[in-house]
Amino acid sequence: MVRQALFAVVLSTVAPQAMAAQASPELPPGVASEVAQAWLDAIASADSIKIRHWIERYDPEGDVNVRVKRMLETAGRTGGFNVVKATAQNARQITLRLKSRRDDGQLELELEVEPGGRAGSFLLKPVEPGVNPLDPSPRAPPEVARPSTKPLPLSQLPRALDQLIGRLVQQDSFSGSVLIAKGDRVVYGKAFGLASRDYHVPNTLTTRFNLGSVNKLVTTIAIAQLSAAGKLSLDDTIGKFLSDYPNSSTRSKVTIRHLLTMKSGIGDFFGPEFRRAAKEQFRTIRDYLPLFASAPLAFEPGTQTQYSNGGFVVLGAIIEAVSGQTYYDYVRDHIYRVAGMRETDSFAVDDIVPNLAMGYTTEEQQGSGRHHNLFVLPARGSSAGGGYSTAPDLLRLSLALQHGLLRLPASRDGPLSQMSDRLPPIGVAGGSPGVNAFFFVNPESGFTLVVLSNYDPPSAVSLGSKIRTLLPFGPR
């Protein structure tokens, strides 16, 4: 079985009274519904015996003890899930919209059951990103939005962070780098753990980490630049630039605005076909299109919001069509160089790159312990995510945005050419097996927070959320 989870939000822990179960829609008939319901019941029980029984019955691959521990952690964070929506593709495939019983955090579960009743593929992913850069009033992920710890004076922050992160490192729960800056002054910057466990190479502040979906912010900036130059409009359709896009309905109905705001109805590419495919074939933006471009839209564009990696791949293809450059060359020339991000790029897995962190995951493979994530990575990342950067380079991106060298749209509804004179708060995150990144900018207080990790989610997001509660932001 193959499992992959991309987390752009982290589910928070709140008071027990918020855990009350709500009525969920009845699942459609079929073996996939039976397996999904059994998983929901096991998570809701928070019972290790029931969880172990589900794993052994439906998904016995991998180290059972490790899997039980991870499912118990999910149960503890969420209190179980309520089903918001259930869609069965057939008796063996189902998609569920799930909401945590502890808060409003939502995930989507895609489940495919093999003949014999075992789970052939099991994919959990966020319904929407933690913060949309096009939203004039971005909201932080739930745990970030509800601080539970009193902010500290800057003089006390380094010692408190050393203690906090030290405990996580001792528990082998975090490996990566952490940088906090007030304006351009770094108030905390340290690295922890190993970039290579094989060769005992330590992480440093100049270590390059996989960013996951943090690259979506870069893609958004690129679209803003091209619009400001009059080369595209937010209301242009896909078909204006990609006349060969295979789905005619998508080509004529979906606009750039829909793609940016996750309202396109275009699905994900991290499905069964991607998991079965040889990852070495994904080296250009267009290499990803066959994974989803011919599929029907999940809903009428503009009527719903659903997290879409596929939509941001399409944005990358539009950037290429408009600029005449590859996506990778465009963002290198027009974003990374402008911001002074010399250590940032989308490297291929077989490139020889100095100071690159190897990702380590406990997912996907038989046996306990952490192992390389190379077997689940595409050969090269895309406009939806998977590039590499360092903590100092992300600070440079923050400063370029705060100083107006790079701009974001004024709002998701206004003309994209009207750039905002006041940068809104930005909070983006990304992750996959062995990859987790957290990037937050508060322009009002001048703080930038970067947490990069080469461990599974939510290693960076969870730590970043805790650190935010300690920062003396002042007015929010």
pLDDT tens digit string along 402-443? 999 999 865 544 333 334 457 888 999 998 899 999 999 999
Angle at 269 between CA 385 and CA 64, to 5 degrees: 90
> How would residue 180 be classed by pLDDT, with cut points 50, 70 and 90?
very high
| pLDDT at residue 210 in the model | 98
CATH of the domain at 148: 3.40.710.10
- Looking at the DSSP assignment, which residues form a beta bridge with residue 122? 3, 111
Domain count, the chain: 3
Asked if the structure places residue 460 within a domain, the reply is yes
Pair (166, 204) in one structural domain:
yes
Q: CA 292, CA 268: separation in Å to the nearest integer?
A: 7
Read off the tokens for 121.
């593929």
- Residue 454: inside a domain: yes
Q: Quote the CA–CA distance of 126 and 104 in Å, as a whole number.
A: 12
Mean pLDDT, range 68-85, rounded to an integer:
81
Ranges of beta strands (E only) in 172-327 are: 176-182, 185-192, 194-196, 201-202, 209-210
Asked whether residue 246 falls in the same domain as residue 297, the answer is yes
Residue 329: phi and psi, rounded to 5, are -70, -40
User: Are 207 and 356 part of one and the same domain?
Assistant: yes
Q: pLDDT class for 184, splitting at 50, 70, 90?
A: very high
Backbone angles phi, psi at 425, to 5 degrees: -55, 140
Most confident segment among 132-146, 239-253, 269-283: 239-253
**Listed residues 72, 92, 126: the one ending a domain:** 126
168 lies in the same domain as 204: yes
Strand order in the sheet with 435-442: 185-192, 176-182, 447-453, 435-442, 426-432
Amino acid identity of 13?
Answer: T
* Domain assignment present for 133: no
Same-domain check for residues 199 and 283: no
Do 275 and 162 belong together in one domain? no
18 pLDDT more than 50? no
Does one domain contain both 207 and 230? Answer: no
Residues 6+ positions from 17 with CB-CB distance below 8 Å: none
Q: Across residues 302-319, what is the average pLDDT?
A: 94
Residue 95 lies in a domain: yes
- H/E run at residue 217: helix 215-228
In this structure, are 292 and 381 located in the same domain? no
Euclidean distance between CA atoms 159 and 156, whole angstroms: 6
Which residue range forms the structural domain that includes residue 233?
A: 217-327
Q: In this structure, how many other beta carbons lie within 10 angstroms of the beta carbon of residue 185?
A: 9
Does any domain span residue 96? yes
Tell me: do 204 and 234 sit in the same domain: no
Banded model confidence at residue 26, pLDDT cuts 50, 70, 90? confident
User: Alpha carbon 156 to chain centroid distance?
Assistant: 31
Tell me what pLDDT residue 56 has: 81
Residues 279 and 363 grouped into a single domain: no
Q: What percent of the chain has pLDDT over 90?
A: 54
Q: What is the CATH number of the domain that holds 91?
A: 3.10.450.50
Res 14 pLDDT > 80: no
Task: Give domain status of residue 135, yes or no.
Answer: no
Specify the range with the lowest mean pLDDT, choosing from 211-225, 262-276, 379-393: 262-276
In terms of domains, do 360 and 440 share one? yes
137 domain-assigned: no
Same-domain check for residues 255 and 282: yes
Measured CA to CA, the distance from residue 353 to residue 349 in angstroms comes to 9
**Cα-based angle 398, 399, 401 (whole degrees, multiple of 5):** 70
Domain termination residue (choose one: 293, 327, 361): 327
User: Can you list the pairs that 73-78 forms with residues at least 24 positions away whose Cβ atoms lie under 8 Å?
Assistant: 74/43, 75/43, 75/44, 75/45, 75/46, 75/51, 76/13, 76/46, 77/11, 77/12, 77/13, 77/102, 78/11, 78/43, 78/102, 78/105
Specify if 131 maps to a domain: no
